[in-house]
Structure 1
Amino acid sequence: MNVSRDDEDRCPRCDRPTVSLREALPWCAACEWNLDAFDPAVRQPEFGWSWVDRRTYRLARGLTGKQYATLVDRELDAAGFGPAGWVTAVASLLLTVGVLALGGTGVWLLFAYPFPNLAILLGVIMIGLAVALRPRFGRVDPDLEVLDRDRAPELHALVAEVAEAIGAPVPHVIGVDDTFNAYATSVGLRRRRVLALGLPLWGSLDGPSRVALLGHELGHFVNGDVRRILVVQPALTMLGNAADLMRPSAGTSGGGLVAMIGEAVGRSVSWTVSRVLFGAHLVLVATALRDSQRAEYLADEMAARSGGTDAATRVLDVTLHGESVLRTVRRVARDGGGPQRWRAEVDVSLASAADRLALLRQLSLREETSLFASHPPAGLRHRMLTARARHAPRVVVTEARVERIDGELKRHYDRTVRDIVLGG
């Protein structure tokens, strides 16, 4: 990734040369002039209208900056709902009551009038709608390879140690997959806790960084993240499902002028209702994600407490530099190298990219700010960690233990290597 510096294009605020990455609009790395500019060339359209995307971006910038300023000097401990979470919970309650009332009315219509009666048909339709609009509680990803304690005792023990260090519950399910990612979620009506570790990411991290990654993911079980709480699921799913149901289907041909007019009117009404429902869905999701971004800062704090501040910031840099890291892993995998060589090569890659990483963190403030982002920009998360009191690691992992854990996962690493090589 080339860094562009223009000595002739200087910052009007501090007279330093501006910089740019990936053909982005230039900004000043010293005082961050123009870093808040809306850059349509590097942003995916959210609404499709430039003037709307520009205004929602400005709104998101304001909300994101205000949230950071509020939290940076505050003690970050496990917490319940914030204001956005309570709004989401109340909306979920109202939506659930509405769907239950819809289904209950449908059942009543089945028996309220003697058979046959059109009310029965209406009752069946209402019951069908209630079933279609029910909240979804998720399930374990079928691509996740679940690891029981007998197959991976060292990994399970490490997860338990990190959970104890930050006061988090132990996951019910621990698994691995082929992605350059890791996540913690809750699924099903009983909200079973699931921890998923993507082996390309996990294998690229050293011992302290693995502890920090576990601390971050397990921290989601105690940081009030609304996406993992049962009572708010209706707000995140119901209106979106309703909008999909009301979306007009493809038109039919023939039927005469009257039929065509009737169909056109019906499609117009259906489209309007669908858009209104989808708009309400976006408002609720954007509200919920305010609390989700707050929860990410708390999860980062858990990462720093468990693995140390240096390890927590390193995890952020590895994920921010993810494309280059994944290319490194793919190259080493083609040469037959395993996770020990991945880590060594990733160390070299990060060291050589130190200057670019600093600029990438800044650029993330522009590229990753959105009303619909579940995470704050990586640059702000890095600043939050470095601006606060530094943490020494609570859980220390030796290289020998890292090797034992990797040995437990050898079969899964081998499959991942094959996928990486074939997919590259």
Structure 2
Amino acid sequence: MDTLLRIAALLLSLVVHALTLAFVVIGCWIIYANSNFLVFWLVGLVVAGVGVLLLPRSRRLPADAESLARTSASELYGVAERVAQAVGVEPPATVAIRDLTVASAYMRVGRRRRVLVIGLPLWLVLSARQRVVLLAGTYAEARDDGLIVGGALSTLAVWRESLLQGESAPRREEAHTRIGATLGSFATPAGTYEGMGSIGRGLGKVLGLPVLLLEWTLIRLVRSGSSGAARQRLARAHGVATEVELAELAELVRGGRFLAPVQAAALRGASVPEIRQSACARLETLVSYGGAHGTEPGLLTEDASDRIDNELSGHYARAIKGFGLLV
């Protein structure tokens, strides 16, 4: 069943890509068939430009993510690879960090490179065991739709945002008012700008309904078709971290209960070791793992966790300066 759903998602994605390519082809044909008329050049360029803008783009790292060299963070790369192998996913080619983001993510960047992105504010305060739980949960939740299906979803997202989320632009409206005041009787009638904007937004909603339906269908096919693989990853993750551990860490991230004391300590000028020591002690009272651990031993010892902190010490010192910006 999963195979049939994946095939259906692939075929629907090819339809989306064919529609995108059709814009480029039609735009070029309009220019070629009417090369003597400037107006058709403009129309053709607009149509082809829409197609080019909708072409799928490779996913990129967030702008604030910093990739770490393997030579400078060998312990961090080591535990990232060991947990990935235990969960049954491809080990990351690159590990990156974000100073002011709590959540972690495992993503495909570009065409093939897999990157593990770790949020330093949470990583700083976790014990060795909790770090393994965080990595296992991050790998288990990762989704990889592939180049064709992922590209189709990104194209549909651009369509949806363009057609359904258009709002009036105050600056343009103000400029239109100034032009009308300058031109006087030569200006367009009052209310023209607002009227055209309303027509455009209404047309966008009408055209956006098929896009929404297409996107909804593709998302459902992708989720249903990958449910078996997701269950398998989650089952293997439970061999590394129990369901209770994963649930409690997820709740800790959602609630942000660890954040306020860390921010207060950073504002007081506490050092990184002091912040980590007090935060780890406080987290012991916030979680209740009950001694239940996964079946994979030796993924990260306390000594190795300390060596990771030494590798990241410079990044910690830089990151805590901005912890007050976190909400």
| TM-score calculated relative to the size of structure 1 | 0.61
Are the equivalent residues in 1 in contact too, given 2:86–2:236 (CA < 8 A)? Answer: no
Q: Distance in 1 between matches of 2:77 and 2:209?
A: 47
Q: Distance in 2 between matches of 1:110 and 1:281?
A: 30
| 1:241 is aligned to 2:178 | no
Q: Deviations over 1:17-38 (max 9, x none)?
A: xxxxxxxxxxxxxxxxxxxxxx
Change in Cα spacing, 1:244 to 1:198, as seen in structure 2 (3 Å) is closer
Q: CA deviation at 1:197?
A: 0.7
One-letter code of the match for 1:325?
F
Q: Which residue of 2 aligns with 1:381?
A: none
Change in Cα spacing, 1:249 to 1:160, as seen in structure 2 (3 Å) is same
Change in Cα spacing, 1:87 to 1:347, as seen in structure 2 (3 Å) is farther
Q: Which residue of 1 aligns with 2:275?
A: 338
Matches within 5 A, 1:127-276: 127-178=48-99, 179-188=101-110, 190-219=111-140, 225-226=143-144, 228-246=145-163, 247=166, 254-256=187-189, 263=196, 266-267=199-200, 270-276=203-209
| 1:407 is aligned to 2:324 | no
One-letter code of the match for 2:213?
A
One-letter code of the match for 2:102?
F
| TM-score calculated relative to the size of structure 2 | 0.77
Are the equivalent residues in 2 in contact too, given 1:248–1:270 (CA < 8 A)? Answer: no
Change in Cα spacing, 1:87 to 1:157, as seen in structure 2 (3 Å) is same
Q: Distance in 1 between matches of 2:122 and 2:132?
A: 13
| 1:347 is aligned to 2:264 | no
Are the equivalent residues in 1 in contact too, given 2:2–2:224 (CA < 8 A)? Answer: no
**1:303 paired residue among 231, 237, 246:** 237
One-letter code of the match for 1:236?
L
Are the equivalent residues in 2 in contact too, given 1:219–1:303 (CA < 8 A)? Answer: yes
Q: Distance in 1 between matches of 2:283 and 2:168?
A: 50
Q: Which has the higher contact order (CA 8 A, sep 6+)?
A: 2
Q: Deviations over 1:29-60 (max 9, x none)?
A: xxxxxxxxxxxxxxxxxxxxxxxxxxxxxxxx
Q: Distance in 1 between matches of 2:72 and 2:299?
A: 23
Q: Distance in 1 between matches of 2:252 and 2:193?
A: 57
Q: Deviations over 1:251-304 (max 9, x none)?
A: 766524896898478436524335425533662475267449946655443332
Q: Which residue of 2 aligns with 1:33?
A: none
Q: Which residue of 2 aligns with 1:364?
A: none
Q: Distance in 2 between matches of 1:405 and 1:265?
A: 56
Q: CA deviation at 1:220?
A: 5.2
Are the equivalent residues in 2 in contact too, given 1:88–1:235 (CA < 8 A)? Answer: no
Change in Cα spacing, 1:343 to 1:293, as seen in structure 2 (3 Å) is farther
Change in Cα spacing, 1:167 to 1:200, as seen in structure 2 (3 Å) is same
Q: Which residue of 1 aligns with 2:183?
A: none
Change in Cα spacing, 1:418 to 1:117, as seen in structure 2 (3 Å) is closer
One-letter code of the match for 1:319?
V
Deviates more, 1:200-209 or 1:85-94: 85-94
Q: Distance in 2 between matches of 1:292 and 1:412?
A: 40
Q: Which residue of 1 aligns with 2:181?
A: none
**SS of aligned partner of 1:125:** helix
Q: Distance in 1 between matches of 2:196 and 2:22?
A: 30
**SS of aligned partner of 1:203:** helix
Unpaired runs of 5+ residues, structure 1, are 1-78, 355-385
Q: CA deviation at 1:103?
A: 0.6
The structure with the largest helix share of the pair is 2
| Identical-residue share of aligned pairs (%) | 25
**SS of aligned partner of 1:193:** strand
**SS of aligned partner of 1:338:** helix
**2:258 paired residue among 315, 325, 331:** 325
Change in Cα spacing, 1:394 to 1:291, as seen in structure 2 (3 Å) is farther
Q: Distance in 1 between matches of 2:248 and 2:193?
A: 61
Q: Distance in 1 between matches of 2:71 and 2:52?
A: 40
**What is the Cα-based RMSD across aligned positions, in Å?**
3.7
One-letter code of the match for 2:312?
L
Unpaired runs of 5+ residues, structure 2, are 178-186
Matches within 5 A, 1:43-54: none
One-letter code of the match for 2:246?
A
Q: Which residue of 2 aligns with 1:126?
A: 47
Count of aligned positions: 304
Q: Which residue of 2 aligns with 1:27?
A: none
Change in Cα spacing, 1:80 to 1:200, as seen in structure 2 (3 Å) is farther
Q: Distance in 1 between matches of 2:60 and 2:192?
A: 44
Are the equivalent residues in 2 in contact too, given 1:330–1:421 (CA < 8 A)? Answer: yes
